[in-house]
Chains A and B, each alone.
Chain A
């Protein structure tokens, strides 16, 4: 807001200011100010993510014993993790879990998003909110409520079965517990994924749909041939999120454990295993190594998934 100073009569030549201090300051401000805006986030990111990660990495190369204190052991903890049957069992269990639960959940989310987008449904907003509501329920609360629903003596399903004279289904038995937890997770996250896919569908240009309609494509054909291919990036995004989330499974297993101590052991999921290593076994360093091992597994799985899907995209 520099006011023109030249009050001299006569020609005041439009100055081409050489890069004086003022201009340099302005340029400096332009470069620095965006980072100042980012600063709060960067500080929190550093303090609550980078520092703890570095700390965990640091302690994972040590081992502390109740008797004998802390010793440097190098990569021993990681080698132990690779051969640990509890850890590997948990990983395999999560692979099994993810192989079924993720496609079912995303398929359901996709179906709901397509149906909502197709325009044949009234009260769209109501349904959108309704499907999204389970995601707004804290997962601890959801696990507690489902734990009650699954109760073999007093849960509603058990009572219904009793009324019909059938044996009460034991949802938390060895054979059914993984499916029961998959049910809870699907209930929680289908709405969330549906919103992402629905938003992606909104970006599909209407000309394409109209073109399809003109060509005589019916509803499901429009969905299959036009809409889905165009929202594939969003679909892959939700798939990667789901893969990451699968390996982080913790809340539901921990909340249901008191009700099913025989089916849900301390190493039921890798994340639960890391937790109990730290807080029950007091093996903090090994727990840190397991945490990084889980991270490595997640990275590998995500990478493999993206490789596969990229190839398919290019191939088509």
Chain B
């Protein structure tokens, strides 16, 4: 007799086979059930990438107003990190959200790689007149609409009133006066500077915008590059001269050291965007009540030009499977009165909607940090004076990286500030040509 045969008894192998079969069966059934349940009554699920703090409240408002749409809010990083993820997803062909938080200056860049959907077919143009004209310019091309304006950053000057008073400095209305004030201040106290001039691409572009620069003109695959035009040259030389004379600092911005310098009065003014005041409150708590806002100094006596730094939009990506609902989401979040009113009081975004910009409630809101000044009205004025016709390049990260490198090199003395625009022009032109653009 052989040893016990396995006939008639469950062996481990049999058990595994049965278990496997059962599992497989369950998967198949479950899968089918999932597919089967996808009837038209199931809610549409959208993914929204945005870095606005405390945004869930407004997203919930949207879900309440649109019962058939569910929104998953994801903070995929602020600015550059999110753009890298978006670019990776677009290149991979999957993984991009339905609606994404994109700043104005990056719209042409993502349009170039076919990442932004044209939502004019879903009625976006109906809302055109609700928004400040220059913001609509930035998101549209003819009748096509690639994003909905969300918030903006018109530029003005924040300054320390107490230090101005201490040294007898008047608020400068022209850049000439600003230069004189800088010298006067630094002579009185060599450790204090009227401002810092960091190698920040976005900020310097904002200043150049105010001076009348129009570095890019994009027409399909033709791009006009004028990074060495007279306005940019003027701005570079003006600030370069002040830095070389030692009356303006040239430390990198956005670092811990910079925040501390602003907080303790080493830098007495900050030409900045409309999101600057709240930002300043966060980093310079000690100097509460001592700051004020004023319009940017002008290049010409009596002018009132301003520009924009930052500001963002909500755009629908070309990977979205529910473009119509995604467009609804983008439009509602940037246009409906309920959430948009909340942006100004909860997250302190500077509005792009004409209703809010003109509302007395918004303009007259007093800020303790600014000694009770109605700071918003200064920036509303600036918003009305933002220069028209400014365009961004379709490769803005490259431009910013080059600006930071060149102005950084100038700050450490490796090159002259007056030489920077020419260097930028050369580098960016070569890059554009290499990427297949027709440059003129």
Chain A positions near chain B (C-beta within 8 angstroms): 3, 5, 65-68, 148, 151-154, 173-174, 258-263, 265-266, 276, 279-282, 284
Contact = CB atoms under 8 A, between A and B. Distances in A.
A214 to B, nearest CB: 60
A262 B412 contact: yes
A261 B255 contact: no
Interface string B251-265: 110111100110000
Q: By CB atoms of chain A within 10 A, which of B221, B395, B401, B413 has the most?
A: B401
Contact of A263 (B2, B412, B435): B412
A258 B260 contact: no
Contacts of B266: 153
Contacts of B437: 66-67
Contact of A281 (B84, B113, B414, B431): B431
Q: 10 closest A-B pairs (Cβ-Cβ)?
A: A261-B408, A262-B412, A67-B436, A262-B408, A65-B436, A68-B436, A66-B435, A67-B221, A153-B257, A65-B435
B112 A66 contact: yes
Contacts of B413: 174
A68 B221 CA distance: 9
A173 B251 CA distance: 12
A127 B410 CA distance: 46
Contacts of A151: 256-257
B397 interface: yes
Contacts of A258: 252, 254-255
Given A68-B436, A261-B199, A281-B431, A153 B395 contact: no
B394 A66 contact: yes
A66 to B, nearest CB: 4
Contacts of B412: 173-174, 262-263
Contact of B252 (A65, A66, A259, A279): A259
Contacts of B113: 66, 282
B411 interface: yes
Contacts of A266: 401, 405
B252 to A, nearest CB: 6
Nearest to B410: A262
Contacts of B436: 65-68
The A interface, classified by DSSP as helix, strand, loop or mixed, is loop
Contacts of B431: 281
A66 B395 contact: yes
Interface string B394-412: 1101100100110111111
Given A67-B437, A174-B414, A259 B405 contact: no
Nearest to A261: B408
Contacts of A259: 252, 255, 257
Given A65-B434, A67-B436, A281-B398, A261 B404 contact: yes
Contacts, number: 82
Given A65-B434, A153-B257, A262 B395 contact: no
B414 A276 contact: no
A153 B435 contact: no
A151 B256 CA distance: 9
Interface of B: 2-3, 84, 87, 91, 112-113, 199, 221, 251-252, 254-257, 260-261, 266, 394-395, 397-398, 401, 404-405, 407-414, 431, 434-437
Given A261-B408, A265-B409, A281-B395, 18 more contacts: A5-B2, A65-B435, A66-B394, A66-B437, A67-B221, A153-B266, A154-B257, A154-B260, A174-B412, A259-B255, A262-B411, A262-B412, A262-B414, A263-B408, A265-B408, A279-B84, A280-B397, A281-B401
A261 B414 contact: no
B257 A152 contact: yes
A260 B251 CA distance: 9
6 contacts: A67-B435, A151-B256, A153-B261, A259-B252, A280-B397, A282-B395
Contacts of B395: 66, 281-282
A266 B199 CA distance: 14
Contacts of B397: 280-282
Contacts of B434: 65
Q: By CB atoms of chain B within 10 A, which of A258, A261, A263 has the most?
A: A261
A259 B259 CA distance: 12
A111 to B, nearest CB: 35
A313 to B, nearest CB: 45
Given A174-B414, A280-B398, A280-B401, A262 B409 contact: yes
Contacts of A5: 2-3
A261 B435 contact: no
A66 B251 CA distance: 34
Contact of A153 (B91, B260, B398, B404): B260
A282 B394 CA distance: 12
Nearest to B398: A281
Contacts of B409: 262, 265
Given A65-B435, A67-B436, A173-B412, A261 B256 contact: no
